[in-house]
Amino acid sequence: MIHEFKKVWKPYTIGLLWLLGLLWPMLGIHPDGTLTFDETFTAWGYIAIGTSICLLLYILNKSGSLDAVSRPLAGLRDTVGQASGKVPNWVWIIVLLAFAFLYPFFTGRYAQDVATNVLIYICLGLGLNIVVGLAGMLDLGYIAFYGVGAYTYALLNIHFGMSFWICLPIAAALAMIAGSLIGYPTLRMRGDYLAIVTLGFGEIVRIILNNWMSLTNGPNGILGIKAPSMYIPSFENGFSLEVLYLKKLHYLYYVALLLAIITVISVRHLNFSRIGRAWESIREDETAAELMGVNTFKLKLLAYAMGALFAGLAGAFFCARMRFVSPESFTFLESAMVLSMVVLGGMGSIPGIILGAAALIVLPEVFREFETYRMLVFGMSMVVMMLFRPAGLIPAKRMGKRGEG
């Protein structure tokens, strides 16, 4: 333990002092010409205590002093893991589905709202997973397709009164077309360049939505979009069909659940099909994949289009749920959010991304009181995650070493 500690304490102390030096000018220099130290030291003290505890636990764990606690825990985890491994997968899926179906019956409005959000982000995360996780192309402008889907439904509904269910495939198709249009010129690029160009495209879409006043009503957004509707039989005066707008939260929750289930099934099928394998071969080594007869150009374009499709679906639903859209919802930060779900959960792993989406939506809701610090913690945890567990919470089974964006 002493040895471990010796290795770490020096950089750690330097780091803390460095932080103090960075923090004080921001907090301690005031425009009235005074210098204060209390505030800085309080904030710094909290950070120092928190990180010291984490570091101490880390060192203790590494040197084996915590074995008395961690060994039984690890044993317990192993037995639980083995027991759950014996139960076939379909049992878990049924349990999960049953939970998802029964969820609105024992939760309130707020919990349903959060759950609907999680489901939307599952669609988005799995769609982005096709591009980033399977085909290995880093896309930082993914939210643009979400915006295309949302605005498609909003405009068709406002101007032509078209219903949600008809607009859903149209939104998906338009998002796919947008995906191909954006994908086409960027396919020659790889890695960082691709990332920055997709970011540029995402911003262009947002700026256009923001400025095309006659079509999108600019930053004011579009109001008065109808919720999804359904025909239900009514027997009051004989037999007739009545339109029921699914405005209630639990109806919307079920629509989102339906979309999420469709997304999970299709992404799973894509993943384990010939196309999915081809995508993965492109991710691992594009040149080798091309040599083996994979049409890399077509498949990369297809990856873009398929990824955009699910974003389009999610976007149309998002718009129908909020009954309002504005360009505010499609900023770069949203793209970063979806991307971090994919990365946090584990690229290419479907259960991982579901977990990642749930974690990134639910945790900030739990810590609502610390709203100001939310994005601060989010950014830092992204860095920490990359430092200590770059493969994600549930890493994908088929992932080579060369997978880089």
Q: Which is nearer to another protein, 145 or 254 (CB)?
A: 145
* Residues facing residue 324 across a β-bridge: 223
Contact between 199 and another protein by CB under 8 A: the answer reads yes
Contact between 185 and another protein by CB under 8 A: the answer reads yes
Contact between 207 and another protein by CB under 8 A: the answer reads yes
Task: Decide if 373 contacts 130 (C-beta within 8 A).
Answer: no
Contact between 291 and another protein by CB under 8 A: the answer reads no
Contact between 19 and another protein by CB under 8 A: the answer reads yes
In the region spanning residues 32 to 61, those forming contacts with another protein, defined by CB under 8 A, are: 32-34
Contact between 400 and another protein by CB under 8 A: the answer reads no
Cα distance between residue 183 and residue 203, in whole Å: 15
Q: Which pair of structure tokens corresponds to residue 19?
A: 């932080």
Shortest reach from residue 321's CB to another protein, in Å:
26
Task: Decide if 329 contacts 377 (C-beta within 8 A).
Answer: no
Contact between 75 and another protein by CB under 8 A: the answer reads no
Which of 68, 106, 383, 397 binds another protein (CB under 8 A)? It is 383
Task: Decide if 209 contacts 315 (C-beta within 8 A).
Answer: no
Contact between 329 and another protein by CB under 8 A: the answer reads no
Q: Which is nearer to another protein, 80 or 333 (CB)?
A: 333
Shortest reach from residue 346's CB to another protein, in Å:
13
Contact between 378 and another protein by CB under 8 A: the answer reads yes
Segment contacting another protein by CB under 8 A, of 13-21, 109-117, 119-127, 361-369: 13-21
Contact between 379 and another protein by CB under 8 A: the answer reads yes
Report CA dihedral (53, 59, 60, 62) to the nearest 10 degrees: 140
Contact between 72 and another protein by CB under 8 A: the answer reads no
Question: 390, exposed or middle or buried, with CB in 10 Å at 0-12, 13-18, 19+?
Answer: exposed
Cα distance between residue 198 and residue 116, in whole Å: 28
Which of 1, 29, 258, 292 binds another protein (CB under 8 A)? It is 29
Residue with tokens 């349903």: 112
Q: Which pair of structure tokens corresponds to residue 36?
A: 């204060």
Which of 78, 191, 269, 292 binds another protein (CB under 8 A)? It is 191
Task: Decide if 338 contacts 128 (C-beta within 8 A).
Answer: yes
Cα distance between residue 172 and residue 308, in whole Å: 8
Cα distance between residue 349 and residue 341, in whole Å: 11
Contact between 343 and another protein by CB under 8 A: the answer reads yes
Contact between 386 and another protein by CB under 8 A: the answer reads yes
Cα distance between residue 161 and residue 199, in whole Å: 33
Task: Decide if 294 contacts 278 (C-beta within 8 A).
Answer: yes
Contact between 339 and another protein by CB under 8 A: the answer reads yes
Tell me the pairing of strands 240-245 and 229-234.
antiparallel
Cα distance between residue 35 and residue 278, in whole Å: 62
Contact between 192 and another protein by CB under 8 A: the answer reads yes
Contact between 303 and another protein by CB under 8 A: the answer reads no
Which of 3, 6, 10, 26 binds another protein (CB under 8 A)? It is 26
Size of the site for another protein (CB under 8 A): 58
Shortest reach from residue 338's CB to another protein, in Å:
12
In the region spanning residues 346 to 375, those forming contacts with another protein, defined by CB under 8 A, are: 372-373, 375
Please state the φ and ψ torsions of residue 362, each to the nearest 5 degrees.
-75, -40
Enumerate binding residues for another protein (CB under 8 A).
15, 18-19, 21-23, 25-27, 29-34, 138, 185-186, 188-193, 195-197, 199-201, 203-204, 207-208, 211, 332-333, 336, 339-340, 343, 372-373, 375-376, 378-383, 385-387, 390, 403-405
